[in-house]
Structure 1
Amino acid sequence: MAAVLLLLLSAGALLYSAEAQQAYDQLPENYKKGVDLVLRQLHSHAGVQHHFLFFRTLAKSDIESGFGVRYIYHNFHLKPTKCAKGTTQSDPQRCPFRNDRPLMDCAVCYKTLADEIESSPKPYVHCIQRPKLTQEMTDSRLDHCRKMSYNSGAPTLLAVSTTE
């Protein structure tokens, strides 16, 4: 009986992590690039001991500034897996989610040009374990990203000259 229960729990965990991988696969490319950027930074941090995978989107925005420039904001959760840190495997069958660790709440904002992340302004990445996230941190994230996307010198249609 215990073996059957364990088998059912394992199958449920695999289905749950497969759904999260499907959520990542359904993200537009511009958002996937931001998630990948966050995962690279998070996995390179010495204090992080778990391998994380994308879990779900909480909020996102995409501001088109013209001439192929976009400002992306994405707030999402990452969930720790049973795989060791540094694992490049994103296959949910090989890296099932852990349910005994808190979610990582991440916010990222960045500028893209022709669908590539620009280095200037520097992309903003902030991740913290969900229980430690405060309203002040959330407000600070949003303020930082709003300032990044505000560009008073942005070209407008009035600035474009045409020759006939």
Structure 2
Amino acid sequence: MRLLPFALLLAAGVFLTSAEAQSSFSKLPDTYKKGVELAVQNVNAHEGVQQHFLFFKTIDKSQIEAGHDVTYIYHNFQLKATKCKRGTENADTTTCAFRNDRPLIDCAVCYKTYAGAIETEPKPYVNCVHKPALTEDMKKERIEYCNKMCYSSGSPTLLAVGSQ
């Protein structure tokens, strides 16, 4: 009987975590949401993935307003496995609760937007890795790649802008 209150408390904590993740996604600016959706689509399309993944939290983000309605976006965030199967339509954290027995996936995306839409050139960069396998060298390579994308257009680097 003593486990019942603990189980209820634990269930309430899982619900709050799910609600917080959904809330943090809904608070992202649309230009960042589009990058998250691109990464979620890529991860959930991977044949080796069994569960449906959803946005969990932002680690870092920055953007450069390059003028003429052009913006360069960098977003590092985590995805978390849910209890729903891969390919679940219209999934969110109210219909697909997060699982706590799978590693997080750390994603970094960078892309150019024009008038709020992701441009096809340069090709958007999406790099997602299970968190335990992510190394400092991989993190450095991601940032260097994104900075090159931005620098080739004559804009300052994304790191020079800092988190926003």
Q: Mark the CA change 1:74 to 1:4 in structure 2 (over 3 Å): closer, same or farther.
A: same
Task: Give CA-to-partner distance per residue, 1:60-115, whole Å, 9 cap, x none.
Answer: 11011110111000000111111111112333232111111111000000000000
Quote the residue 2:47 is aligned against: 46
Deviation for aligned residue 1:152: 4.8
Quote the residue 1:67 is aligned against: 68
Identity of counterpart residues, as a percentage?
56
Query: 2:54, 2:92 within 8 Å by CA — same for their partners in 1?
Result: no
Equivalent-residue separation in structure 1 for 2:56 and 2:125 (angstroms): 20
Query: 2:76, 2:106 within 8 Å by CA — same for their partners in 1?
Result: yes
Q: Give me the CA root mean square deviation.
A: 1.5
Query: 1:57, 1:76 within 8 Å by CA — same for their partners in 2?
Result: yes
List gaps (5 residues or longer) in structure 2.
156-164
Quote the residue 2:161 is aligned against: none
Equivalent residues in 2 for 1:12-161, closer than 5 Å: 12-152=13-153
Query: 1:89, 1:95 within 8 Å by CA — same for their partners in 2?
Result: no
The one-letter amino acid paired with 2:120 is S
2:129 is paired with a residue whose SS is strand
The one-letter amino acid paired with 1:56 is K
Deviation for aligned residue 1:25: 0.4
How many residue pairs end up in the alignment?
A: 154
List gaps (5 residues or longer) in structure 1.
155-164
The one-letter amino acid paired with 1:128 is V
Specify the structure having the higher radius of gyration (Cα).
Answer: 1
The one-letter amino acid paired with 1:45 is H
TM-score by length of 2: 0.88
Query: 2:79, 2:107 within 8 Å by CA — same for their partners in 1?
Result: yes
The one-letter amino acid paired with 1:131 is P
TM-score by length of 1: 0.88
